[in-house]
Amino acid sequence: MESSVDFEKLVRNKYRMLTRAVESRGGDKDDVALVRKAYKIAADAHKDVRRKSGEPYITHPLDVALIVTREIGLGPQSIAAALLHDVVEDSDYTKEQLEHLFGANIAYMVEGLTKIQGIFDHQSSSMQVENFRKLLLSISDDVRVILIKMADRLHNMRTLDGMPYHKQLKIASETLYIFAPLAHRMGLYHIKSEFEDLGLKYTEPEIYQELEQKLQDAEEDDGIYLERFSQSIESLLESEGITFSVKRRNKGIFSIRRKMLNQSVTFEEVYDKYAIRIIIDAHPKREKSDIWRAYSVITGVFRPNPRRLRDWVTSPKANGYESLHITVMGPEGHWIEVQIRSKRMDEEAEKGYAAHWRYKEDNSGNSALDEWVGKIREAIENQSESAVEFVDQFKLQLFSEEIFAFTPQGKMLTLPKHSTALDFAFEIHSDIGMSTLGAKVNGKLVPLSYEIQSGDQVHVLTSDNQRPKADWMNWVVTPKAKSNIRSFLREETRLSQERGKRMLARMMRKAKSELNQSTTQKMLNFFSLKNPRELYESFGSGRFSAGQFRAFVDEESGGFYQNLRRRFKPKVTAQKSVKESASRIVFGPDQIILEHTLASCCHPIQGDAIFGFIEQEGIQVHRTDCRHSVNLQGRFAEKVIIARWASGESRGFNAMLRFSGMDSTGLILQVTSVISSDMNVDIRALHIDGGDGVFTGTISVHVQDRSQLADLAQKLKAIKGVDRVEREVSKVG
């Protein structure tokens, strides 16, 4: 009973914390009343339901709502949706009832959250790609839905200890794969860092615990030093009359490990484990000048590392992040990162895009947010056929560093690092990208594959006659450029297929025939193509011409073997080599000699039963017992032709025999005697390995024909101790 009372007290305290948070952020009576109403509905829906920890379930929506308001900074509508996010799924309340009680906006958010929850209940890890796409869809409808979902996932990660290991692993992996990059892209850096650290804690617990302990030990050792450095900075800024506050930021455990792996350094060699953050209280009109004044004061005393300067004050990141990062040499030769930003910038850095929604809740958003959401919609609408490729491309854009470049008119565009001049063209507008002829960067002509550097001014040259080419796919990295080029190429392929089909139908009519299933299959066999689409495209794109079609017609009218004679008859200059190497094989009922090769999969030799198989590049000869024989003769009977060894003088061939048995004295002498003396066969190479009373060996011999090889194998088997002799055939994968 006592624990029940404790839980009631816990719930009351969380609810009070929530209402105080609403009031402290400027909420009026109506806002508090809205939150109270949502809380009562949620408490009713989840009454008598407990979490695995034993707490009443209502503590979860309360904690999610607290994260939504205190850590993300959303307003009362979002808080109400957070309280109600499991109500439709876990109780008899319907979306229509919630819409009647709370209005369309809140009901819509709850419905979106219910849908998202459903996709994460799926057990298969292969669903992650589709989950990612559905999350992006929810963002493009209402960003608040994904922000509340992030709060829900963050609370789940914070309370993951009570779950079975396999569920911990699934949820943590999903968090690292999906939620961490989204939090990063939306500017929620502290949440992104916590997602990563908690993800590492459950996916690689030993590594996490080791680094956590090392970080704690290092903090104890470095704490006094950092305190002295902070006091020095404070004294410098106070002497200049700058109003500010100072925070200390520890680098996340996940980030430390990533740097250790990427740079192949030890924990001790990661020098930016801590950062000093200076938050300047300045009027918006003076904040940039005050930031640079603080920079000047600090670097006047502590030497900066110019390679570590990150100026996101002059050029903010695409997600709106603004801050000046410098790395300076502190006392005793230690590098320390110093971040300088205004109070406004700090709040927006902590809350990301969510800071623009705080208490507005009117979907007005901001230009950076609207632009990003627009890109999401565009990416989803132009999604490639491969969902995995879609996610990989989008994650690239989420996680990659950014560069900025300028149009000739001075407009700044932000692109992922490694973007090319062609990516820049598509970023301006899809139509410009599709007709890009070339580009000038800083006044000089560059190839379309040129990698844009931050600060470049890019002039895109276009032509009405230019069209995307297949090579362009190798020159772009942004999803927008890739999807546009892919769509164009796909449409071009479709048009080529339609054009080719019309051409073939017209040419067939002239040849007094028609394009039907039978003639199409014959052409596929003749040209060694896989399907009708490939055939139509080959003609429609110009790769095949009327000449190739006439060759097909000639075969149909002139006879199968006549066509083979025309295609594969040995050239005069090749007559000698063909006769010497393999012209002992003749083809067809007329026993004609044709150029051919012996298949490497079965290595036919004279005397083997064989057949010919017609390929685009020529005829291959296989043994009838080849491992590919059933497949070739069963599926492609129309390409199989009769082949046999021609009678006449034989100059012999090399063959390899493998044999094994019980080791005995004089064995090698007996083997060589049988081969050389009894059979009068030349030995080209002999190798025997023995041990523990057994042996294996190989012998290369030159024989006249298959019959002599078979006799030799029988003679070797008759030797005492030899129990197995077989012809060795090269194996191919």
Active site residues: 89-90
In the chain, the amino acid numbered 19 is T
As given in the structure block, the two tokens for residue 691 are: 């041990």
- Measured CA to CA, the distance from residue 330 to residue 571 in angstroms comes to 81
Do 130 and 119 form a contact (C-beta atoms < 8 A)?
yes
Closest CA to 482 of 628, 578, 375: 375
Q: Report the SS3 class of residue 217.
A: helix
> CA triplet 239, 322, 193: central angle to 5 degrees?
105
Do 339 and 251 form a contact (C-beta atoms < 8 A)?
no
Q: Where are the beta strands (DSSP E) in 484-590?
A: 585-587
Q: Report the SS3 class of residue 549.
A: helix
> CA triplet 5, 6, 9: central angle to 5 degrees?
90
Closest CA to 596 of 628, 624, 568: 568
Q: Report the SS3 class of residue 634.
A: helix
What are the residues facing 618 on neighbouring strands?
615
Do 462 and 432 form a contact (C-beta atoms < 8 A)?
yes
Secondary element (H or E) of residue 214: helix 205-239
- Measured CA to CA, the distance from residue 225 to residue 292 in angstroms comes to 25
What is the greatest pairwise CA distance in the chain? 113
How do 585-587 and 458-462 pair as beta strands? Answer: unpaired
How do 324-329 and 335-342 pair as beta strands? Answer: antiparallel
Give CA torsion, residues 185, 191, 194, 195, to 10 deg. -50
Q: Report the SS3 class of residue 205.
A: helix
For the residues of 69-128, what is the DSSP string, one character each? Answer: IIII---HHHHHHHHTTTHHHHSS--HHHHHHHH-HHHHHHHHHHHHHHHHHT---GGGH
525-to-294, 518, 534, 635, 706 alpha-carbon distances in Å: 77, 11, 12, 11, 33
The count of other CB atoms within 10 Å of the CB of residue 600 is 10
